[in-house]
Amino acid sequence: MPYCLGLQTAAEAFRSISLATQFTLAVVIFLIIVTIVSALQKDGVDSPPSLPGPSLFAIWPFFRRRYDFLNWGFHATGQNTFRFNLLGNNVVVVSGESARQTFFTAKGLDLTEGFKILSGAIPMVRGVTSDLQTRRIQQIHKRLANVQRHDRLSELIPCILEDSRRLMESWGSAGKFDPFEKVYELTFQLTIRSLSCTEIADDPVAVAQLKKLYDELDTGTTPATVLLPWLPTPAMIKKLLATKKIYDIVAKAIKDREQSGVHHNDTLQMLLDSGDDRLVVVGFIMGLLIAGARATGTTASWLLTFLGGHPDWRNKAAVEVQKLLSASSSDPSQPLSKRLASISLETWESETPVLDSIIRETTRVAQPHTAMRRNLGPDLYIDDKLIPSGAYVIYPFSDVHLDPDLYPDPWKFDPGRKEPEGVPYSYVGWGGGKTMCLGTRLAKVELKLVTAMFVLGFEHDVVNASGEPMYPLPTPNWNDILLCRPPQGSFSLGYTKTSVVL
């Protein structure tokens, strides 16, 4: 009886306080319960060792300094596999050749579930970009493959080059810029062109607005918005508002197209002609726009930075593109964008070994990916360590891409380095096993076209804040999980336009 009275009194006291205080108290109680439950969990004989210290201490470094945090975890446990908790989510980190093979081939490890919970940087609209049925996800993947069909991609090449010409001309004849702003802006435009619709791609104001909104999603992604999405923090409110505005822009473009009856040869038309329902169309555009722009933008920004600091490879790339132009049937008096557009897709894909090696080396040293999966069951073992059903598994690409045994002097940009032989998944820049990047073909074509335009249209180098040639060159920051970007303002690309007409 006293216990009942005590609970009743506590309940009445709880109801008497303000809603804000109730909410704050509920969050505190929740965190205390999670901390106690995590502390009571013991490592089994076949469980990965746990990180030392309270689990709450892992949250900030996992999201803000992930590269350093994961390296510390391997060092602190002395193992190539360890685990920690993110507010009740059991996360296992794996490394090494054997673990890498299992990670990329195990059937029960699901990418969609892992990325949704541990990343949180994709705009989430219930039923549109989240909670999609497997059938709809497969349909979106099928449509992305259709975008990259030979005929469709061949038709995109002149559009990509024209967009590149327009933006590059806006840079002027000489100056300097931050590649993570100007080059990223360019690749965002190309992604809009390739994966959305003509109406948006042809409207610089709409493109700029979308880029601003997606940037807000990036900056608004905090540990709280990922792990406590129901908590109305200022960052979460900002994300929700940005997501709603993105949805409105995309939905309006779809509605306008349907009502106008005007057909365009673009991705939106392909989606509508395929008879896809509205959820698939909106989800495809909203999700893939940012997924494609982030990865391609990061690679393009670093690629041109590396070429600016390695004139030998810059010259090799220029010579290779010049050879393609010489072998084409283009009129030398035409602008560069028109001449490059005359080169076939087959040629871009099969006769550019220098560009291929530059792209591969850039994605090796400057793509800070941490692959994320969730074990949907049954329980499995990685290196004799139990990965229970429901647990999250992550594999940092740095484990293989920055391994000095596979890549001597791993931080050095060297497209001519010999590829490791006989080592499974020694390069996973575009994924591996059953989960390869579905937009690889489009991304590589975009990167080659932008590089070709830039190395023939401009001379450039890497300069410091004072405008002087920079040495040593900037190093990718793997703690920046989106762009691998060094401190803002620490360097720029100085450029001078050549006599070539873009």
Q: In the 8-state DSSP scheme, what is residue 55?
A: G
3-state secondary structure of 381: strand
Domain spans in the chain, listed from the N-terminal domain onward: 134-497
**pLDDT at res. 120:** 53
Give CATH superfamily name and number for 134-497: Cytochrome P450 (1.10.630.10)
**pLDDT at res. 108:** 93
Residues β-bridged to residue 494 = 176, 461
The rounded distance, in Å, linking the Cα atoms of 234 and 220 is 9
- The answer to whether 408 and 420 have CB atoms below 8 angstroms apart is no
**pLDDT at res. 436:** 86
Question: 319 vs 47, 325, 470, CA distance in Å?
Answer: 55, 10, 25
How confident is the model over 18-35, as pLDDT tens digits? Answer: 555 544 554 454 455 445
What residues have CB less than 8 Å from 346, skipping those under 6 apart?
Answer: none
DSSP-assigned letters across all residues of 148-197:
TSHHHHHHHHHHHHHHHHHHHHTT-SEEEE-HHHHHHHHHHHHHHHHHS-
Cis, bond preceding 472 (omega within 30 deg of 0): yes
**pLDDT at res. 320:** 98
437 is in an annotated binding site: yes
Looking up tokens 């380095």, which residue turns up?
417
Tokens, residue 203: 């409207």
Residues β-bridged to residue 387 = 380
432: nearest Cα among 110, 100, 117: 100
Q: In the 8-state DSSP scheme, what is residue 56?
A: G
Residues β-bridged to residue 93 = 82, 394
**Would you give the distance in Å from CA 178 to the centre of its chain?**
19
Max CA distance (Å), the chain? 96
Residues β-bridged to residue 336 = none
Amino acid at 451: T
pTM for this entry? 0.88
381-394-39 Cα angle (round to 5):
80
Question: 100 vs 77, 196, 321, 403, CA distance in Å?
Answer: 19, 35, 36, 13
**pLDDT at res. 118:** 60
Tokens, residue 378: 């049954």
**pLDDT at res. 7:** 41
Tokens, residue 227: 């792990």
Per-residue pLDDT of the chain (502 residues; tens, 9 = 90+): 444 444 445 445 545 665 555 445 544 544 554 455 444 455 567 899 999 988 888 889 998 999 999 999 999 999 999 999 988 889 999 999 999 999 999 999 988 787 766 655 555 555 444 455 566 677 777 888 888 999 999 999 999 999 999 999 999 999 999 999 999 999 999 999 999 999 999 999 999 999 999 998 888 777 887 777 778 888 888 888 998 999 999 999 999 999 998 999 999 999 999 888 887 788 888 888 888 888 999 999 999 999 999 999 999 999 999 999 999 988 889 999 999 999 999 999 999 999 999 999 999 999 999 999 999 999 999 999 999 999 999 999 999 999 999 999 999 999 999 999 999 999 999 998 888 888 999 999 999 999 999 999 999 999 998 899 999 999 999 999 889 999 988 999 999 999 999 9
Tokens, residue 437: 């990047």
3-state secondary structure of 26: helix
Looking up tokens 């074990």, which residue turns up?
375
Amino acid at 61: P
